[in-house]
Amino acid sequence: MPSAPAPPEAFARAVAGLRAAAPREEILLEETQAPQRLAPYAFALSATVLRDGDEVASGRLILLHEPAGHDAWRGTLRLVTLITAELEEELAGDPMVPEVAWTWLIDGLDQQEAAYTAIGGTITRTESTRFGELAGPAPTADLEIRASWTPTSDDLGAHLQGWCEMLASTAGLPPPGITAFNRQRASTP
């Protein structure tokens, strides 16, 4: 059986850049199955963000490559992400949360000097209260970030680092080297 043709050089360099970038220790990355119908070439990473040993956010970053280019992308490569996290109680009702969450992506990419174009996305905040047989813990609020952008170079290490900064912000992690205060107060006797 003949072997599959080698992927285009631009896609191979982009994948190598994603594989080479190392996130902070609280973010665990692993390669996962990429969707096959969105573009001729695809690669995907999943992320789990841990805080104090607990999973507080998760995400997926998908690299798409269309060698002939794509008008809507304004390029041949496209990064697509989905990030979900439970919101802390004091943020759940804040009407500015979607705007702030969007800046996490823009700031993460800009701080890493990850050049991009054609960026867009949605921020969704949901609140859940359980009733009846599902009654249980206090109401929860979740944040979902869906976004995509076109990198203007195929060196994607900076894009992965910017995405990881967004994950850290979404998860409420302090900046590297800073220790967060425990937000839970000890109960008084």
- Residue 175: inside a domain: no
Q: Is the pTM of this model over 0.95?
A: no
- Residue 14: inside a domain: yes
- Residue 54: inside a domain: yes
User: Sign of torsion, CA 106 111 116 117?
Assistant: positive
- Residue 1: inside a domain: no
Q: Which of 35-39, 63-67, 69-73, 94-98 is predicted with the least confidence, judged by mean pLDDT?
A: 94-98
- Confidence label for 4 from pLDDT (cuts 50, 70 and 90): low
- Is a pLDDT exceeding 50 seen at residue 187? no
**Distance (Å, rounded) from C-alpha 110 to C-alpha 114?**
6
Q: What is the mean pLDDT of residues 27-52?
A: 93
Number of structural domains (the chain) is: 1
Average pLDDT value for the chain? 86
**Distance (Å, rounded) from C-alpha 43 to C-alpha 46?**
11
User: pLDDT higher for 157 or 132?
Assistant: 157
- Is a pLDDT exceeding 70 seen at residue 183? no
- Cα 5 to chain center, whole Å? 30
The CA distances from residue 106 to 95, 147, 181, in Å, are 19, 11, 27
- Residue 64: inside a domain: yes
- H-only helix segments in 39-177: 89-92, 97-111, 157-171
Tell me what pLDDT residue 1 has. 53
Domain that holds residue 143: 9-169
User: pLDDT higher for 21 or 76?
Assistant: 76
Q: What is the mean pLDDT of residues 127-133?
A: 71
* Residue 45: Cβ within 10 Å count: 22
- Is a pLDDT exceeding 80 seen at residue 102? yes
